[in-house]
Amino acid sequence: MRKQHVSAALALLALALLTLAPAVYAQPYKVYLLYVAEAGDSWVSKDAFASFLTTHLKKAGVSFEVIKSIDDWEKLVDQAPENLIIVNCHGEVMPIPTKYGDNYTLFYQDLARNVREKGWILVLPIGLTTWLIGNEKTVGYTNVVDGPSLSAFRMSLGLPPINPWCDQNAQISDLGKRVAAVLGLDAPEVVGAARAIATNATPLWYFYKVPESAKTWDGLPYYSMAAWKVGKGMLVWGGMSSGDEMRKTAITAAVVAYILDPTLAEKTPPPPPLITPEKAYMYVIAAAVVALLAVLVVVLVKGRAPKAPPPAAAEKKQ
């Protein structure tokens, strides 16, 4: 009987620990962060972006690996395993494997083939990705190739013309708001989306959209952190502005988690914590101020207290 009680108690303890731990997905895709040493960045600090994104993905219970070298990136593109999510941490720079030299068109064709046929999902959160390429072994740490590179990338994926000259703020969608809340991630209501794109292809879903009262392109709205189907895979275009990597990586982590588990949109967000880190910090500061004032009062009171008269000479002799 006692053994049964112990077993039941252990089972309850295990259940409690599971509820406290972040959700871990039986991931249908393998997640990679593209963060190579041989390529630079633009509109973002790749180091800060990768660091913050790592923290947010762990909080969301997402398993991932980091592509740290251009050789590993080339090997992955060549081997082309199925069902990968590639998150570019370089902003507007697209690392180009060494074997392609400066032939970005050929590289984009091979990359797009992996998207269409192998089910790869490209997540490009910041700026006008492919406006620059990078590989210090061949084209340089960062190399501006501008419009022709972007057009080659778009056409390789079979997407219709796009207009990325948005220069507006985008507002979070109900989907984005709900997924971020379920994951406990801090996704801003409004985000700079200078390179959000407008196109006549309707996205599968989107986390941010520029209000049509602010700007459209021939009546077409601008989307940020939005997904378009490409064969078996997908392109998720961010076009977010530079700065505030902490919150923009939270958005990126929410997008990746949603791709892995679309049912997140149907789940109930947990109740907000009673004490947030910001409130805890304020309470600590307030307590420190109160303690300092108390010490000051004690010092002042002691300083004003009447001093005892010196002992008489006779008393001193005794």
Single pTM value for the model? 0.80
- Give dist(CA 76, CA 292) in Å, integer: 59
Res 36: pLDDT:
98
Q: What's the one-letter identity of residue 45?
A: S
Helices within 172-276 (DSSP H only) = 174-183, 245-260
Name the stretches of the chain with pLDDT < 70. Answer: 1-26, 272-281, 303-318
Res 12: pLDDT:
41
- Using alpha carbons, list the distances in angstroms from residue 275 to 20, 272, 282: 17, 9, 10
Nearest to 209 by CA among 192, 223, 226, 225: 223
Six token digits for residue 120? 């790869």
- Give dist(CA 31, CA 83) in Å, integer: 9
Element holding 51 (H helix, E strand): helix 46-59
Res 289: pLDDT:
79
Q: Which fold has domain 20-266?
A: Rossmann fold (3.40.50)
- Give dist(CA 165, CA 96) in Å, integer: 24
Query: Which tens digit of pLDDT belongs to each residue from 26-49?
Result: 678 999 999 999 999 999 999 999
Query: Which tens digit of pLDDT belongs to each residue from 233-247?
Result: 999 999 999 999 999
Res 94: pLDDT:
98
Nearest to 42 by CA among 148, 142, 191: 142
Whether the CB-CB separation of 72 and 98 falls below 8 Å is answered with: no
